[in-house]
Chain A
């Protein structure tokens, strides 16, 4: 009995160690629920496609927690090979030159195909350094869009296929929806800082900060307290008081999705990647998709919206073998089939032109109306320095300051001008700290 057991144990150990012969590559990510499951299945598919490398994905919490965790791990010399960092952390990562292995270097050193032109232009623009090199692999890029409840629209006497185009229409539609009793509130939003300030600035071609929104260097200062932004926040406060708009909470806006899913609010603005969650949760009603609204008296042809989401960074301090595996995995991830599948399942943008073309060929966009809203919105017109994106150090903290000031505005402690002035002042202080720490 003992003998058979020990033989079994020996065999088990052997097979385990032969599985271990594959080089393990740790991948820290921040995708939960539907997105997390999809991500794990991608890693598994890669692991099954070859036997030399094994990607080990680990969920590390929110984007902010994942970034902090990776930095803490780096300081303790236990850093993962790959870490998913949200767009807000891009400034921080780019400044940390010794901590990262730039992806363009990684790919060329390991003889993997690498062509910057293969990526969608707004994606490349957002993630390149001043020399035009991409430092991290774009993986899940998104942009905010508008979701609306078609059934509520119809109940309120509106056309169920017509979404509001401008903010004036959002106000008008919301009033009709509330007056008719079709829903209790007109609209809500996730990510106030990203959707209602950074993107509002970009869409209306207004600067967010000096030096081309921070792309030009660390000496940048914020400028988001201009007329358009003040007017918009003023309106949001007015609409919140009237009940047309409901606040969903700071950062991502944890309460916002529930307000939309439950039918309390008829319109919901959030990342295009909320699509999977919206479709899974909006069981009682049909969802419409539309671009973000704009002020027609400010701009007749709205500019492109800007990117959110995350990229994959290879961290320094690993063996050549690991880097080879990362390069192979990145090539796998960039394949049109993998990209298109991820894009179509999640609502993230197709990162490469090939993935977008594949979607067209498959007829995906025709079969799923509204699934191309995000890509059309982000590629419309020619990007200006104001709509190319934002790049600031410590942007996570700046967004917290923006949230705080927005809450102070809603509580009636200050008016929109004062709230944005204070946010600019607080934000500039944070930029100076970042500049001092990274000079």
Chain B
């Protein structure tokens, strides 16, 4: 990788230039994170009149709680499915659009649209389509003998939020994949074609490895998206139900903290969630990045 060095004559100037970014990070990220760590060791009534320091009781309680372990499992299933589905589909779409040259722009615009839709609106949209009593998809499925009721069937509910969350993310992935594909030099694929490599072989041995930086970047973004940003979609479609079947870690933080007003437990959960994401990102950078060719 290239490094570029700028020499500042004034020693203070670089810090001054960095200051706005640092202040924002401190005020909006580090400070709240520390607050969460602090209140994760406390038990407090909702109004904040009485605060008791209780060491690790919030943590031990959470880790023994079947509902919490269940939401951990849900999150794993959800994050992996959303990442695989949305990245797989958007790669397919990007490859297709990359092949058609002229109307590519129209397809691109159409495919990017979902990204402009707010998460809650996405949730409502899918809620309507799959609503057991008024949605048209359960109506069609009934014709095939499938009874759709995600209010009762936990697996169907999970499928629903995976579909909704993936749909929302496809646009973003698609843009990056398309940009990545367009930067693959044609000469390489042409040379391979002359050597007799078929389209599939060309894709897997030349294009895909060259896309690896994009894929790696998207992998991290998508996992973070599935773990953090899907709150609105879950809230609007299933609200974590039925019987906790779609309660993910981030939704549970909200439900326990903001609805249940159990701030200590909720903070402890968000600290654990933060640790999980830190560990995941470190692992990805240390082990997966080695296999990425820039």
Mark A residues whose CB is within 8 Å of B: 64, 68, 71, 74-75, 92, 95-96, 98-99, 246-251, 255, 258-259, 262, 264, 394, 396-397, 400, 403-405, 407-408, 410-411, 413, 433, 436-438
Is residue B291 within 8 Å, beta carbon to beta carbon, of the partner chain? no
Give CA–CA (A71, B258) in the complex, Å.
Answer: 10
A-B contact pairs, 15 of them (CB 8 A): A68-B258, A71-B46, A71-B261, A96-B47, A99-B49, A248-B151, A251-B239, A255-B133, A258-B134, A404-B244, A405-B243, A407-B152, A408-B242, A433-B262, A437-B45
Give CA–CA (A75, B45) in the complex, Å.
Answer: 11
Cross-chain contact A400 with B133 (CB below 8 angstroms): no
Q: Which secondary structure dominates chain A's binding surface? A: helix
Cross-chain contact B47 with A68 (CB below 8 angstroms): no
Tell me the nearest residue of chain A to B259, going by C-beta: A64
Cross-chain contact A437 with B152 (CB below 8 angstroms): no
Q: Which secondary structure dominates chain B's binding surface? A: loop
Partner of A404 from B46, B48, B243, B260 at Cβ < 8 Å: B243
Is residue B173 within 8 Å, beta carbon to beta carbon, of the partner chain? no
Mark B residues whose CB is within 8 Å of A: 43-50, 131-134, 151-154, 239, 241-244, 255, 258-262
Which residues of A sit under 8 angstroms from B132, Cβ to Cβ?
255
Which residues of A sit under 8 angstroms from B259, Cβ to Cβ?
64, 68, 396-397, 400
Which residues of A sit under 8 angstroms from B131, Cβ to Cβ?
255
Give CA–CA (A75, B151) in the complex, Å.
Answer: 36
Cross-chain contact A411 with B153 (CB below 8 angstroms): yes
Tell me the nearest residue of chain B to A419, going by C-beta: B243
A410 shortest CB reach to chain B, Å: 5
Cross-chain contact B243 with A264 (CB below 8 angstroms): no
A436 shortest CB reach to chain B, Å: 6
Cross-chain contact A404 with B241 (CB below 8 angstroms): yes
Cross-chain contact A75 with B48 (CB below 8 angstroms): yes
Give CA–CA (A248, B262) in the complex, Å.
Answer: 27
Cross-chain contact B260 with A394 (CB below 8 angstroms): yes
Cross-chain contact A264 with B133 (CB below 8 angstroms): yes
Cross-chain contact A255 with B45 (CB below 8 angstroms): no
Which residues of A sit under 8 angstroms from B134, Cβ to Cβ?
258, 262
A260 shortest CB reach to chain B, Å: 10
Cross-chain contact A250 with B242 (CB below 8 angstroms): yes
Cross-chain contact B152 with A92 (CB below 8 angstroms): no
A-B contacts besides A99-B47, A246-B133, 5 pairs, CB < 8 Å: A64-B259, A247-B151, A247-B152, A250-B241, A397-B262
> Given A404-B243, A407-B242, A413-B243, A74–B47 Cβ distance below 8 Å?
yes
Partner of B47 from A75, A258, A403, A404 at Cβ < 8 Å: A75
Give CA–CA (A258, B151) in the complex, Å.
Answer: 14
Partner of B44 from A68, A95, A255, A437 at Cβ < 8 Å: A437
Tell me the nearest residue of chain A to B65, going by C-beta: A429
Cross-chain contact B151 with A249 (CB below 8 angstroms): yes
Give CA–CA (A352, B259) in the complex, Å.
Answer: 32
Cross-chain contact A98 with B47 (CB below 8 angstroms): yes
Give CA–CA (A251, B241) in the complex, Å.
Answer: 11
A34 shortest CB reach to chain B, Å: 20
> Given A250-B239, A255-B131, A411-B154, A400–B255 Cβ distance below 8 Å?
yes
Give CA–CA (A433, B62) in the complex, Å.
Answer: 13
Ranked nearest first, the 10 interchain pairs of A and B with the lowest CB-CB distance are A407-B242, A407-B243, A408-B243, A397-B260, A437-B45, A96-B47, A404-B243, A99-B47, A410-B152, A71-B46
